[in-house]
Amino acid sequence: MSMLKINDLRSYLKNKSNQELIKEIVELSKQFPVVKEYYRTKVDPDFEIEIFEKYKKIIQDEFFHYKGFGKLKYSNINKAIRDFKKISKNSKLIAELMISYSELGVEFMIEYGDVDERLYNNILRSYINALDYIFKNGLEEKCKDRMNHIREDVVGVDWEFGDNMSEVYYEYFSNFDNEDE
């Protein structure tokens, strides 16, 4: 099955009246919660914080579920971040969500000790993804202390993992620190 081409979609939409377009968007909002959330943030910008908290809670629950031990479904965590990126264009909130993933992962490691290789790999990947996003969006100054705090927290959990996190941190921030001088 082939994907819908944007030009075909545009042609389809151009043939619709305003009333038909409104009806179609309302239907999409009813069928797809992400579409509803997207438009809600357009209508009510303050709702963006509420939506952010919802997605942050999804991530928290994967690590520390209110009913006990989290499920640690990395696909749910990554989906929450992807979905929020589709809804929000606020780079600070997106970075905050990505950093939260790393922070919660490290907190989980500290709480439960040596878990498994997959957890280490996922947390390291989330840390790198957050740093990539932070640097692409010019948020280095705002996020540097938190990213360093995450790095410092893992040193006591596992030496090799701590070394890996430190290496990544300094790879990103060594040039940033040199620019400040």
Kindly state whether residue 19 falls inside one of the protein's structural domains. Answer: no
Kindly state whether residue 181 falls inside one of the protein's structural domains. Answer: no
DSSP line for the chain: -PPPPHHHHHHHHHTS-HHHHHHHHHHHHHH-HHHHHHHHHHH-TTHHHHHHHHHHHHHHHHHEETTEE----HHHHHHHHHHHHHH---HHHHHHHHHHHHHHHHHHHHHH-S--HHHHHHHHHHHHHHHHHHHHTT-HHHHHHHHHHHHHHHHTT-HHHHHHHHHHHHHHHHHHHHHH-
Give me the pLDDT at residue 103, please: 96
Kindly state whether residue 33 falls inside one of the protein's structural domains. Answer: yes
Give me the pLDDT at residue 181, please: 44
Kindly state whether residue 179 falls inside one of the protein's structural domains. Answer: no
Q: Judging by beta carbons within 10 Å of its beta carbon (0-12, 13-18, 19+), is residue 78 exposed, middle or buried?
A: middle
Kindly state whether residue 177 falls inside one of the protein's structural domains. Answer: no
Kindly state whether residue 47 falls inside one of the protein's structural domains. Answer: yes
Kindly state whether residue 144 falls inside one of the protein's structural domains. Answer: yes
Give me the pLDDT at residue 31, please: 95
Overall number of domains in the chain: 1
Give me the pLDDT at residue 179, please: 53
Which residues of the chain have a pLDDT value below 70? 69-70, 114, 176-181
Quote the domain boundaries for residue 51. 27-172
Give me the pLDDT at residue 115, please: 74
Kindly state whether residue 106 falls inside one of the protein's structural domains. Answer: yes
